Amino acid sequence: MRKTPVLILLLVSAVYISGEAEAKVLWKIGEADNSPAEFCLSPGEFKQFLKKDFGWEDGYFLVGTSAVKAHWPYVLPGPSDEWGGTWSTSGWRSHTLNILFSLGEAPQQGHWKLVVDIMDNHAEDTPLFKVTVNGKAWKYKLPRGSGRSTIEGTSKEGKEFLIEIPLAHDLITPGGNQISLTTLEGSWLVFDQIRLEGPSEAVLLENEKAFLRSVSAADYEIQSESGLRQPLLVDVEHLSGQPVLSVLLEGQAIFNETLELGRYVFEVPMPSVVSGTKSRYDIRLDGKTVQSGMVERRPQKQISLADYADTKMGTAHSRWMIAPGPWMPFGMVKLSPDNQNGGWQAGYDPIFENIGGFSHIHEWTMSGLSLMPTNGKLITNVGDQKKPDEGYRSRFNKETEEAPIGYYRAELTDYHINAELTATTRCGFHRYTFPKDRDGSRVLIDLQSPAEYGYHLEGVTFRQVGDYSVEGLSKQLSPNTWSGGISQEYIVHFAIDFDQPIQKIGFWTDRGIQDRGNTLKTGKVADAGAFIEFDTRDNPVVQVRTGLSYVSIENARKNLDTEIVEPFGWRFDAVRQYNLDTWNDIFDRLKITSADRREKRRFYSNMYRALCSRNIFSDVDGRWVDAAEKIQQLKDPDSVAIGCDA
């Protein structure tokens, strides 16, 4: 059935821009006519999606500037679609379509609504569709579509799915706004129309030579030739020509820069203040004011070079050895969230919005020792990346995920647990904040967690040591890792401390649950782990210190005592600062100068990743295990044994 168009109006570009006071539709992409004919690649050229450079995170459709027939595809592939880039050796490919638009003064009252009219989608592998408006997200599992004929352009009889999202009036802001559409799971969908409805007083702004995304005061200070300065962050996208962007503060010019290509986040240096001060800023392009406003300036902490790095950068479509987390230079422990099933390119990918555990080893062909805080019913299988309710894995809040150098944080929303991580070279440090209104607070220690190179458990030992500690080992074998049928065999020894007394300890294997006794010792098993329960009614925070060694349990304890227990005790934030300071000692050797914060972020994130690429295998006493499984001793206590070039 054909739908009645929202507006009876012919437009060459199919984009309607409203400056009329009585208008309700501020902009639209496409016509609500049950046909994708006006979009790029239509009809039937969906396999040209990648060739046309659609789907990249930095791509965009700019309302009022971009043309629908050239810049908006009629189809959005899902991670299941090979023609969208997903393949066994290239990993999952999830694509994003961004819509940018500028508003004048946004009304403080009135109704806003985003409408995404989906003409059809795959009949069997239905998409999990995500809509994000200025950082706030909604997700929709689409029902079964009609089939393949609509994507091929041979039929207009699709199964419509209409998404209408009421938006809070303060979510749409004066100046730049961004809407992102992506598919997290499943296959393709076909668009009919996307439109934004709003108050009649709202007015769209035209963008000529540049698009001003946002202007805000930084929460840090930078060192300049004139001393400390709090940056005014000016996020701008170049469109055409070579316009000069200038910034005035209280009428005085403080910044000039020529825009040439791409996106910039300028750190415009404002003089520091000793107390809160409100100041007026003006942003100009070639002398013409494009935005004015008030900014609140406050004393801030000076930023370090390591603060520019983002450990999430590069994790999409990546390998096991690239993940967010508080890694140290050449660290033995690489503590990170894992959210994928086992197999090629397993580990962390941002399209999966659940976490199956925080494992300590992300070395090529090696993995092990995964911890996961849970509550409620005891579940000992991790579950599937697409079916988090079938295991102990938990969804997490992507909006509050943090991954700067030396720290990782995620809100595990299924358990209402806040998980925080930091680490030293050979040790991990976890801080879990449990809810007070739920029973069964526990930490799972899973020795058979999903990894890129799967492994067999050849033998497992667990034992409780006193009221606050457990220790053990996991003998692991990854068969046929190397050419010629050579396997990877290694033993992960561990010592684990808790800052709260263990209320109960239990174990599991593939043969069942063992909830009596405080020791587990097995030969070959398909699965093994321990669950440690705590009483968190009075104190909801449980901290965990973990030490690893490939040599012995005693050395795991020695590593833990030397790197965390003796210098830091239970001071999580002190360990985090130590991690950050270690990186700054390295980054300070190579400083770059740029007014663009994105350049610093790219440079130091890449430098960080380069220095994470190899792994220390020796312990604090210089002992290490060679390829023949023999323990060796380094003569120089400051020397280390390093492996892996991944």
276-304 confidence digits (pLDDT tens): 999 999 999 999 999 999 999 999 999 99
Q: What is the pLDDT of residues 74-131, one digit of tens each?
A: 999 999 999 998 877 777 788 999 999 999 887 777 889 999 999 999 999 999 999 9
The answer to whether 469 and 495 are in contact (CB under 8 A) is yes
- Say whether pLDDT at 6 is over 60: no
Give the whole-angstrom CA distance, residue 506 versus residue 462. 10
Stated as kind and residue range, the H or E segment containing 586 is helix 572-587
The answer to whether 12 and 20 are in contact (CB under 8 A) is no
pTM: 0.90
Summarize the chain as % helix, strand, coil (round to 5). Answer: 10, 40, 50
Determine the 3-state secondary structure of 252 from DSSP.
strand
The answer to whether 633 and 302 are in contact (CB under 8 A) is no
pLDDT band at 9 (very low <50, low <70, confident <90, very high): very low
Compute the average pLDDT of residues 350-376: 91
pLDDT band at 646 (very low <50, low <70, confident <90, very high): low
Stated as kind and residue range, the H or E segment containing 557 is helix 553-560
Residue 149's pLDDT is 77
Show the tokens assigned to 266.
């300028």
The answer to whether 221 and 300 are in contact (CB under 8 A) is yes
> What's at 224, amino acid-wise?
S
- Say whether pLDDT at 321 is over 80: no
Pick the range with the lowest mean pLDDT from 9-18, 52-61, 331-340, 619-628.
9-18
Q: What does DSSP say about strands 486-498 and 504-509: parallel, antiparallel, or unpaired?
A: unpaired
pLDDT band at 452 (very low <50, low <70, confident <90, very high): confident
pLDDT band at 14 (very low <50, low <70, confident <90, very high): very low
**Residue 49 backbone zone (phi > 0: left; psi -120 to 50: alpha; other: beta):** alpha
pLDDT band at 5 (very low <50, low <70, confident <90, very high): very low
- Evaluate the CA torsion angle 346, 350, 351, 353 in order and state its sign: positive
Residue 631's pLDDT is 95
What is the CATH number assigned to the segment(s) 25-205? 2.60.120.260
Pick the range with the lowest mean pLDDT from 293-297, 340-344, 397-401.
340-344
Show the tokens assigned to 281.
């800023």
- Say whether pLDDT at 20 is over 90: no
Q: What is the average pLDDT score of the chain? A: 91
Domain segments of the chain as ranges:
25-205, 210-303, 325-573
Q: What is the pLDDT of residues 405-415, one digit of tens each?
A: 999 999 999 99
The answer to whether 237 and 263 are in contact (CB under 8 A) is yes
| Burial (CB count <10 Å: 0-12, 13-18, 19+), residue 324 | buried
Stronger pLDDT, 248 or 451, i.e. the higher one? 248
Residue 645's pLDDT is 57
- Say whether pLDDT at 18 is over 50: no
Domain 25-205 and domain 210-303, same fold? Reply is: no
- Say whether pLDDT at 15 is over 50: no
Pick the range with the lowest mean pLDDT from 3-12, 98-107, 511-520, 582-591.
3-12
Show the tokens assigned to 221.
């200070």
Compute the average pLDDT of residues 484-513: 93
10-19, 142-151, 630-639: which is most confident: 630-639
The answer to whether 99 and 139 are in contact (CB under 8 A) is no
Q: From the options 3.40.50.1220, 3.40.50.720, 3.30.1490.20, 2.60.40.2560, give the CATH code of 210-303.
A: 2.60.40.2560
pLDDT band at 599 (very low <50, low <70, confident <90, very high): very high
The answer to whether 100 and 165 are in contact (CB under 8 A) is no
Q: From the CB of residue 580, how many other CB atoms can be counted at a distance below 10 Å?
A: 20
- Say whether pLDDT at 626 is over 70: yes
Q: pLDDT above 90 covers what percent of the chain?
A: 77
pLDDT band at 1 (very low <50, low <70, confident <90, very high): very low
What is the CATH number assigned to the segment(s) 325-573? 2.70.98.10
